[in-house]
Amino acid sequence: MTRVWQNWEGRFRSRPKHWHEPSTIDEVVAIVQSASKEQPVKVVGAGHSWSDIALPHVHLVTLQRMNRVLSVDHELHQVAVEAGISIHELNTQLAELGLGLSNQGSVNAQSIAGAISTGTHGTGPTFGGMATQVVSLKLVTATGDVLTVSPEENAELWDAVRVGLGALGIVVEVTLQCEPAFCLHSLEQPVPFDMMTQNIQEYAYGAEHCKIWWFPHTEYSHVWQFNRKPLEHLPARWKHWLWWWTDDFLGQRVSNVLLWLLSFVPFLTPAFNRFFRRVSYKRAERTARSNDIFNFPVHIRHPEMEYAIPLEKAGEALQELKRLVEEQRFVVNFIVEIRFVRSDDIWLSPAYQRNSCYIGVMMYKRKHAQEEYFRACEELFLRYGGRPHWGKIHSLAASQLASLYPKYDDFVRLHRKLDPERIFFNDYLHRVLEQGDEPTTKSDAPS
Ligand SMILES: Cc1cc2nc3c(=O)[nH]c(=O)nc-3n(C[C@H](O)[C@H](O)[C@H](O)COP(=O)(O)OP(=O)(O)OC[C@H]3O[C@@H](n4cnc5c(N)ncnc54)[C@H](O)[C@@H]3O)c2cc1C
């Protein structure tokens, strides 16, 4: 019987004909060489994308057996790892080596290659997305060649492959820039929505890392600000576990049941949001190891859309989002998440050449209401020049994406050169990269 692959949310599933778990680069090369246009190969990470970007059709490749730390440079604070390592495993091993990731997303189940390939980000207006932490990587291309790509080697591929959408080849090794292990002090506090949106840049730049949740149907947001502290401030482990249990059990598992009950009586949602915010979200402080602050448990299976908009437009866009919810009478049972990312030069990074505010919208169950809400939010984000997170839900196709990414045509041209037979393609990549025509605009992609 063929095995079933499905993504975290459970929205996408397939039964790929061949399931490969290579443990060496040579095995990856052999798999790629057995693939063809009719028998495409899809490398998957942890399936933690909400979009169908990782949906495999014929050959599924998972690098979960390629999960070792290969070498460490203690002077430069760099580690070389096999690309299938999960961020959780990576954090554990980095802690033993006295190192830490400078920034990361809110969960740690993703593989490092999957995370960088979709432009996964944490928060902090002076920190880039995770792909900016990559120093070099090793790529198996459609021809079975193994290329080292860095600003020095195969440099013409560098700005494309880091957020490569899984389209340019299989990343088998990654070298990451880390920093000496550190703690983060977290200060969280409720802030009136209007005050937050009017001063959003002050909040963003007021700490090394800042994230904000807005509770729809309330006048309040909740602002977290994190700053580095030396490792000496590491609290006793039991304190961490107590916090984790409270957040995991009360914050997630109890909320999950409440949200499920609420989905039968959606008209109670606004009152519930107001009550829940008031009792659960108060001023609090905590210090812990960096990844214990960056990450938090997420068990509530929900769909998510996230767009990066120019930072200077963030306050206005959020005020419009609040008006949209009120005027269209959307019943929104889940938070809006607001995070900040520094600009970079990676062609398909949503933060390409602009400091960005990522706005994430979510909804629990209620499929029809969710689709209407997301459609309206997407229209709003696009009016602000928003670029979608590749691993989250969006409805954009090639022609729209081309107008949002100055280097889109260069990426497509490079992709066609590296994978002319489209052996790494799936339906998602067909939708976002195929315009039918050859790219016609300016290019500095390698010819
Ligand atoms: C609960 C949850 C929380 C999340 N939190 C955040 C967050 O805080 N910030 C954020 O930005 N995103 C977040 N995400 C989105 C998630 O980080 C991305 O979608 C990420 O790509 C998932 O990594 P993965 O290993 O599961 O990759 P998959 O979803 O399995 O694959 C994603 C893409 O990467 C490609 N890929 C995987 N491995 C390789 C490889 N070795 N070589 C080349 N391509 C490869 C795949 O082909 C596919 O195109 C979250 C998702 C979930 C479900």
**Residue-wise pLDDT tens digits, 128-179:** 999 999 999 999 999 999 999 999 999 999 999 999 999 999 999 999 999 9
Q: Is the CB of 48 inside a 6 Å radius of any atom of ligand 1?
A: yes
Please tell me the residue having the least CA distance from ligand 1 atom 44: 166
Share of the chain above pLDDT 90, in %: 84
| Ligand 1, atom nearest to 117 Cα | 34
Regarding the domain delimited by 183-388, which CATH topology (the fold level of the hierarchy) does it fall under? Vanillyl-alcohol Oxidase; Chain A, domain 3 (3.40.462)
**Arithmetic mean of pLDDT, 41-70:** 97
**Arithmetic mean of pLDDT, 192-216:** 98
Q: Is the CB of 46 inside a 6 Å radius of any atom of ligand 1?
A: yes
pTM recorded for the entire structure: 0.94
**Is pLDDT of 84 > 70?**
yes
The reported pLDDT for the residue numbered 443 is: 35
Q: Is the CB of 113 inside a 6 Å radius of any atom of ligand 1?
A: yes
Q: Is the CB of 116 inside a 6 Å radius of any atom of ligand 1?
A: no
Taking alpha carbons only, the member of 71, 272, 72, 292 closest to residue 183 is: 292
Contact predicate 47/28, CB 8 Å: no
Q: Is the CB of 107 inside a 6 Å radius of any atom of ligand 1?
A: yes
| Ligand 1, atom nearest to 428 Cα | 49
Instruction: Output the CA 147–ligand 1 centroid distance in Å.
Output: 22
The confidence band for 299, taking pLDDT boundaries of 50, 70 and 90, is confident
The reported pLDDT for the residue numbered 2 is: 79
CATH class of the domain at 1-181: alpha beta
Q: Is the CB of 62 inside a 6 Å radius of any atom of ligand 1?
A: no
Both tokens assigned to 58: 């014929």
CA dist list (Å): 287 to 35, 103, 239, 283, 306: 49, 16, 10, 14, 28
The confidence band for 400, taking pLDDT boundaries of 50, 70 and 90, is very high
Q: Is the CB of 110 inside a 6 Å radius of any atom of ligand 1?
A: yes
**Is pLDDT of 1 > 70?**
no
- Rounded Cα distance, 304 and 361, in Å: 6
Question: Which of 5, 14, 107 best tests ligand 1's pocket when mutated (most atoms within 8 Å of CB)?
Answer: 107
Domain ranges of the chain: 1-181, 183-388
| Ligand 1, atom nearest to 170 Cα | 42
What residue type is 54 in one-letter code? A
The confidence band for 182, taking pLDDT boundaries of 50, 70 and 90, is very high
Q: Where are the alpha helices (DSSP H) in 328-407?
A: 367-383, 398-404
**Is pLDDT of 367 > 70?**
yes
Instruction: Indicate the SS3 state at residue 160.
Output: helix
> Left if phi > 0, otherwise alpha if psi is -120 to 50, otherwise beta: which for 98?
left
**Arithmetic mean of pLDDT, 228-256:** 83
Instruction: Output the CA 187–ligand 1 centroid distance in Å.
Output: 28
Q: What average pLDDT is seen over the chain?
A: 94
Q: Is the CB of 370 inside a 6 Å radius of any atom of ligand 1?
A: no
Q: Is the CB of 44 inside a 6 Å radius of any atom of ligand 1?
A: yes
The reported pLDDT for the residue numbered 365 is: 81
Q: Helix-strand-coil percent breakdown of the chain, rounded to 5?
A: 35, 25, 40
Instruction: Output the CA 39–ligand 1 centroid distance in Å.
Output: 23
Q: What is the tens place of the pLDDT at every residue in 347-358?
A: 999 999 999 999
